[in-house]
Amino acid sequence: MAKQKRTKTKAKQGAPRQPAPEAAPVKRGRRKATEAKLENLLATAAELMAQKGYDNMSIRDVARATGYSLAGMYYYFDSKEQLLFQIQRNTFESLVTEQEAAVQRAKSAKAKLEALVRNYLDFFLRHTNELKVCAFEHESLKDAAYEEVRDIRHRWYRLLAGIVADLTGLDPAADDASIRHYTLFIFGMLNWIFMWFDERRDTPIETLGDEMIHMIFHGLPRQTKNKKG
Amino acid sequence: MAKQKRTKTKAKQGAPRQPAPEAAPVKRGRRKATEAKLENLLATAAELMAQKGYDNMSIRDVARATGYSLAGMYYYFDSKEQLLFQIQRNTFESLVTEQEAAVQRAKSAKAKLEALVRNYLDFFLRHTNELKVCAFEHESLKDAAYEEVRDIRHRWYRLLAGIVADLTGLDPAADDASIRHYTLFIFGMLNWIFMWFDERRDTPIETLGDEMIHMIFHGLPRQTKNKKG
Amino acid sequence: MAKQKRTKTKAKQGAPRQPAPEAAPVKRGRRKATEAKLENLLATAAELMAQKGYDNMSIRDVARATGYSLAGMYYYFDSKEQLLFQIQRNTFESLVTEQEAAVQRAKSAKAKLEALVRNYLDFFLRHTNELKVCAFEHESLKDAAYEEVRDIRHRWYRLLAGIVADLTGLDPAADDASIRHYTLFIFGMLNWIFMWFDERRDTPIETLGDEMIHMIFHGLPRQTKNKKG
Amino acid sequence: MAKQKRTKTKAKQGAPRQPAPEAAPVKRGRRKATEAKLENLLATAAELMAQKGYDNMSIRDVARATGYSLAGMYYYFDSKEQLLFQIQRNTFESLVTEQEAAVQRAKSAKAKLEALVRNYLDFFLRHTNELKVCAFEHESLKDAAYEEVRDIRHRWYRLLAGIVADLTGLDPAADDASIRHYTLFIFGMLNWIFMWFDERRDTPIETLGDEMIHMIFHGLPRQTKNKKG
DNA sequence: CATGAATGAGCCTTCATTCAT
DNA sequence: TATGAATGAAGGCTCATTCAT
């Protein structure tokens, strides 16, 4: 027989798709309650990550903020990285799905781009913390989890890049670099918002949308003394 | 929203103005050598911070990368935060000074904005790591160090915001929010570059400059099939 | 030297005699089912302990391997140590009882020793995991549980020591140390088997028995070119 | 450039041969002192591991026992497993080297086996804790460290197996299994000693050696009323 | 019978920092 | 200048165990 090599059990790695939410139709009340707790926990974690950054946030912080014990947290997720992953995947998947739908509904390329921007700003207001975590903590994920989120991100990129190609008439085969750059300029404007948006100063968000759309289609406004008149 | 200031539990902060570089009037040769070492050290640290993020980089990493002993590092700076501060202040001060000079040299508002963009991209190529640290680790500084860097940043902001006001003819008194937004859109485009710039794909940088300037003045290019004709 | 008793910092120990198996006079069918489950559980636990060691095995491992919930395990035993205790006591008690019977049946001292060895090897094949746990996790038990198992072990020791005294003609009063040593040499051969036995290489076990008996009675085989022959 | 994927530095894995003891001929006094501290630390750790088992011993235990802080321990080794590895490699290497030398010095196969046993018992008295750790915590090592120690162990095995083949005249080609078994019986006797040796009862160790050698060459002593005549 | 949910204690490890030399 | 040696604090994670249901 010979003594087996001792191994820690560990297991679970990568990006384990959590059990489908509808899996067991038993004990509905229970399920609901636990799910609500998990959601609250993810929201709290997202807030802390947005505030302090992933590396600087400790699971202990989340425990303190939610009122749970440290060990209690691990009932809801398997590791700090999984926690980040869940936030990013859930949020990003929702965002991109919403964006795709918004774009689909619009008719012209111009309308599509406008819809994408407005939906983004709206989503931003509804999920500020989560979205910031998606935008800035991309690199904190590794391996399978990293790749899964990266794929969603690519879907998003292709969505916008397609519109940009349409609008500009640039040829994806010949002018790939240019399309890429203009697309990324727009992403830059969108994502940098996290760095400065202030609810008191920068609302209503529709105005911000107007301005950004103007910037995208016409660049800075001209000498008319009155902007978006 | 504006990114919250990151705080570690452990604090301690004093008068972060590190001893003025002229502090000890030691022999010149010595001074030179020491300064060169310091500069090399700062460059190495900037590289590591750009790669891994401030929180995730350890002083041990810097020691390993420079060949010094761990304790030896502390001859050159007083704390990890001071290290970050030195990088940010040096780099940001250089950048803004260069930017101011470039703008001053240009005649029209249009030329000024163009000069600012081109000089930024040029500086970016020369100091990628340091600049990235300035752009993304702003919040890792605290108290006096934070404020000092913030002040430089504000000088930069005002420089661009002034040009934007001139160009658009928006009234700083009446249309402050708009000026602010357009200014920040441009900063967004500029700073987001760190997230995607790839030396192999995105050179020559002059082309990138052309494109960004087009975006700023005219928005996305139109149906002409050929961009930057 | 004698292996010290292992002590965890955290202790708590009571009257480790677990509730006598006959405790609750519930319905017979129920009892049967529960007992079968318990036995399966003990077997699984023994396997895991044999593989990973007591300290390195977690109740979670057992739960996973049996399909029970973690909390569910505690219906069948009161603590991890009780689990170990049940395995050791059940197994050791069976072994020693079998050994005593086998010895009793044999007539001469020589036959007795032979019977003991052969029965041991047979038992070993039938209860490898459990026996390994008995042999190597002796010290993981504490207080009353430790003592109870130690007493069974002593019964075993005395059984073999008696035969050795008979066979060698050594006087228990005068040559106690010698009897002890020869006895423990034999136990060493027997127990060390766990460290190397490999079902594929070391069967049939009768051959192994032949060899060990030869070793015990005559030492290493001589120059005859053919062993056991 | 694109933000690099963040990676912890970590490094050092497997079985890093510690720097050759004579590496730097500088600061002899210092070196000596530090080495002495390390040796004392390893001895203390070995004692604790022998007492409680590797899994059950915490680095905190070692820190407490040596008077160092917990973090201080990590100046001397990289991980708990490395600590175990250092103990095993150092000890096992010494043992096997001594054993080989002792065997080499002896002329006949019989004398060689006798020398091996006596040297082992002597080494056992000089390094009880360390040797016990070698004998019983073999499986707690993993990967490269495991393999390196396993290789030393094999050297030891082959040393004894060679003598057994010589002595018995068994043919390594034809009777491999038998040689293996007799060899392992002897290892069993030798290694099991840790389980029962008691300095007060089982000295002088020469007597124990006499007995074991008798067992190996002739089996249990006969009816002569006088053992080891 | 059985489990979902939760926790206190503890473990390994890393880190920024210090200080004597 | 520079470093070997050391440490307090903190962080991620696991575990045996409990308890209401």
Q: What is the pLDDT at residue C228?
A: 41
Of D5, D138, D146, the CB nearest to A142: D5
Of D1, D3, D8, the CB nearest to B199: D1
Tens digit of pLDDT for each residue in C48-63?
A: 999 999 999 999 999 9
Q: What is the pLDDT at residue C217?
A: 98
Nucleotide nearest to B24 (CA to C1'): F1
Query: Domain B80-218: which topology?
Result: Tetracycline Repressor; domain 2 (1.10.357)
Name the residue closest to F11, CA to C1'. A58
Pick the residue of D5, D8, D81 with the most A CBs within 10 A to test the interface with A by mutation.
D5
Tokens of B72: 């030896």
Of D4, D6, D139, the CB nearest to A3: D139
Cα distance between residue C81 and residue C94, in whole Å: 20
**Single-letter code of the amino acid located at B107:** K
Distance B47 CA to E15 C1' (A): 20
Residue D4 has pLDDT above 90, yes or no: no
Evaluate whether C28-75 and C80-218 have a shared fold. no
Cα distance between residue C170 and residue C154, in whole Å: 20
Q: What is the pLDDT at residue A103?
A: 98
The domain segmentation of chain D, as residue ranges, is 28-73, 80-218
Establish if A140 touches chain D: CB-CB under 8 angstroms.
Answer: yes
Tens digit of pLDDT for each residue in D14-54?
A: 454 444 444 444 455 667 789 999 999 999 999 999 999 99
**Single-letter code of the amino acid located at D185:** F
Say whether D1 and B61 touch across the interface (CB within 8 A).
no
Look over chain C and give the mean of its residue pLDDT values, rounded to a whole number.
88
Set of chain A residues whose Cβ sits within 8 Å of the Cβ of D6? 139-140
DSSP summary character for residue A22: T
- Which strand F nucleotides have any atom less than 7 A from protein CB atoms? 1-20
Of C52, C58, C198, the CB nearest to A2: C198
Residue D134 has pLDDT above 80, yes or no: yes
In the predicted model, residues of chain A with pLDDT beneath 70 are: 1-30, 224-229
> CA A94: distance to chain centroid?
8
Residue D79 has φ and ψ, to the nearest 5°, of: -165, 165
Say whether B188 and A184 touch across the interface (CB within 8 A).
no
Helix, strand, coil percent values for chain B (each to nearest 5)? 65, 0, 35
Q: How confident is the model at residue C28 (pLDDT cuts 50, 70, 90)?
A: low
Tokens of D145: 């460290």
Tens digit of pLDDT for each residue in D105-124?
A: 999 999 999 999 999 999 99
> What CATH class has A28-73?
mainly alpha
Q: What is the pLDDT at residue B187?
A: 98
Distance B165 CA to F21 C1' (A): 67
Quick check: B36 CB within 7 A of strand F? no
Quick check: D18 CB within 7 A of strand F? no
Set of chain B residues whose Cβ sits within 8 Å of the Cβ of A126? none
Set of chain D residues whose Cβ sits within 8 Å of the Cβ of A4? 139
Q: Please, are residues A212 and A117 in contact by the beta-carbon 8 Å criterion?
A: yes
**Single-letter code of the amino acid located at C94:** S
Q: What is the pLDDT at residue B6?
A: 55
Report the Cα–Cα distance between both ends of chain A, in Å, rounded.
85
Say whether C1 and D198 touch across the interface (CB within 8 A).
yes
Quick check: C64 CB within 7 A of strand F? no
Cα distance between residue B48 and residue B31, in whole Å: 26
Tokens of A129: 């913390």
Distance C132 CA to E1 C1' (A): 31
CATH code for the domain defined by C28-75: 1.10.10.60
Tokens of A49: 């990550």
Pick the residue of D9, D10, D78 with the most B CBs within 10 A to test the interface with B by mutation.
D9
Q: What is the pLDDT at residue C3?
A: 43
Q: What is the pLDDT at residue D169?
A: 95
Distance D79 CA to E11 C1' (A): 12
Q: Please, are residues A166 and A109 in contact by the beta-carbon 8 Å criterion?
A: yes
DSSP summary character for residue D138: G
Of A1, A6, A9, the CB nearest to C194: A1
- CA of A20: how far to CAs of A85, A95, D62, in Å? 16, 20, 47
Tens digit of pLDDT for each residue in C159-180?
A: 999 999 999 999 999 999 999 9
Place of tokens 């969505």: A159
CA of D122 to nearest chain B CA: how many angstroms apart? 44
Q: DSSP letters along B22-89, please?
A: T-----HHHHHHHHHHHHHHHHHHHHHHHHH-TTT--HHHHHHHHT--HHHHTTT-SSHHHHHHHHHH
Distance A38 CA to E7 C1' (A): 18
- CA of B80: how far to CAs of B13, B60, B76, B87, in Å? 12, 11, 11, 11
Nearby residues of D49 by Cβ (< 8 Å), 6 or more positions away = D57, D84, D87, D129, D133, D137
Pick the residue of C44, C48, C51, C197 with the most A CBs within 10 A to test the interface with A by mutation.
C51
Q: What is the pLDDT at residue C109?
A: 96
Of A2, A6, A9, the CB nearest to C53: A6
Q: Please, are residues A139 and A85 in contact by the beta-carbon 8 Å criterion?
A: no
CA of C160 to nearest chain A CA: how many angstroms apart? 25
- Block means of pLDDT (10 residues each) for chain B, 229 residues, are 46 40 47 85 98 97 97 96 98 98 97 98 98 97 97 98 97 96 98 97 96 98 58
Quick check: A71 CB within 7 A of strand F? yes
Q: C70-77 — which CB contacts under 8 Å span 24+ positions? A: C73/C41, C76/C37, C76/C38, C76/C41, C77/C18
Residue window 1-60, chain A: list those with CB within 8 Å of chain B: 50-53, 55-56
Distance B159 CA to E5 C1' (A): 57
Q: What is the pLDDT at residue D22?
A: 42
Q: Do chains A and D touch (3 or more CB pairs under 8 A)?
A: yes
- CA of A17: how far to CAs of A76, A89, D112, in Å? 14, 10, 63
Q: What's the half-sphere exposure (Cβ side, CA atoms, 13 Å) at B18?
A: 20
Q: What is the pLDDT at residue C170?
A: 95
Distance D15 CA to E4 C1' (A): 43
Quick check: A79 CB within 7 A of strand F? yes
Which residue from D30, D51, D146, D22 is spatially nearest to D92, judged by alpha carbons? Answer: D146
